[in-house]
Amino acid sequence: MAGDLRHRRAGGADAGEEEGDGGAEAAAKAKAGPPSGGEGAEAAGPGRKEALGWLEWSRGWMGVVGEFFFQRIAASHLANPLELPPLDGVSIIVTGATSGIGLEIARQLAQAGAHLVMAVRRPKVARELIQKWQNEQTEVSMPLNIEVMELDLISLDSVARFADTWNARMAPLHVLINNAGIFTIGEPQRFTKDGYEEHMQVNHLAPALLAMLLLPSLIRGSPSRIINVNSVVSF
């Protein structure tokens, strides 16, 4: 992939892409919320609740159990850490890069030379991590090329602000890794200020909006990639 990306970058930016305030417009549409009623609701019929059938439930749970018991075996042939090619000049945004999977992805990509953007809700923590990673570098290795940008997926305004700031650079974006996510269980259901259930917004709507709003930059970095980190539980 990296070879691909570098090859296309050398070829220059794609022509004919549209710029402008598409960000604000898409965010406004997203904030307007789902249509009330409409075809979907009518198809379900009055009083009828759409739900998963037993087959979907069984498939889903089999997937979860399979992942739980066999994930390590299925991945045992992979090197850890994965060997990455030099990623110099490749711009990558990783959301939720301050802990868990996102932190490890971010660290390894930055150490491979990528221009890494940590899109996080806790910038201070991200800066501390960068300092730590810099200190771990040997004397001969290049300084890490990492920047921190604030992004809180619980607010669609924050998503739009992030995308507008990035797009204003008129620079290519080669990879967007939508990693940030939440999974709370046994707590009361909560809704965001935008009016969506929290899991639905943080795990699905906001990352999708982010990807849409960043399209001008992704097109500029073509052939670019959007990677969504998800769960088998999201069936």
Ligand X SMILES: NC(=O)c1ccc[n+]([C@@H]2O[C@H](COP(=O)([O-])OP(=O)(O)OC[C@H]3O[C@@H](n4cnc5c(N)ncnc54)[C@H](OP(=O)(O)O)[C@@H]3O)[C@@H](O)[C@H]2O)c1
- If the CB atoms of residues 173 and 180 are measured against ligand X, the closer one turns out to be 180
**C-beta separation of 87 from 113 below 8 A:** yes
Cβ-based nearer residue to ligand X, 222 or 228: 228
Closest approach, Cβ 94 to ligand X, in A, equals: 9
Helix (H, G, I), strand (E, B) or coil at 94: strand
- Site of tokens 């379900």: 44
State the minimum distance, in angstroms, from the CB of residue 33 to ligand X.
Answer: 19
90-117 in b/e form (b: 16+ CB < 10 A) is bbbbbbbbbeeebbebbbbbbbbbbbbb
Q: How many whole angstroms separate alpha carbon 160 and alpha carbon 162?
A: 5
Q: Confirm if 110 and 146 have CB atoms less than 8 A apart.
A: yes
**Residue 5 or 118 with smaller CB distance to ligand X:** 118
Please spell the DSSP secondary structure of 162-177, one letter per residue: HHHHHHTTT----EEE
CB of 192 to ligand X, least distance (A): 9
> With respect to ligand X, which residue has the nearer C-beta, 98 or 217?
98
Pick between residue 7 and residue 124 the one whose CB is nearest to ligand X. 124
Residue placing its CB nearer to ligand X in the complex, 153 or 213: 153
Cα 128–Cα 132–Cα 133 angle in degrees, nearest 5: 120
Binding site for ligand X (CB under 6 A): 95-96, 98-102, 121-122, 151-154, 179-183, 202, 229-231
Closest separation between CB of residue 205 and ligand X, Å?
Answer: 12
Helix intervals (H) in 33-155: 38-44, 54-74, 100-111, 123-136
- Shortest spacing between CB 206 and ligand X, in angstroms: 7
Q: How far is the CB of 154 from ligand X (least distance, A)?
A: 4
- Amino acid identity for residue 35 in this structure: P
Q: Which amino acid is at 44?
A: A
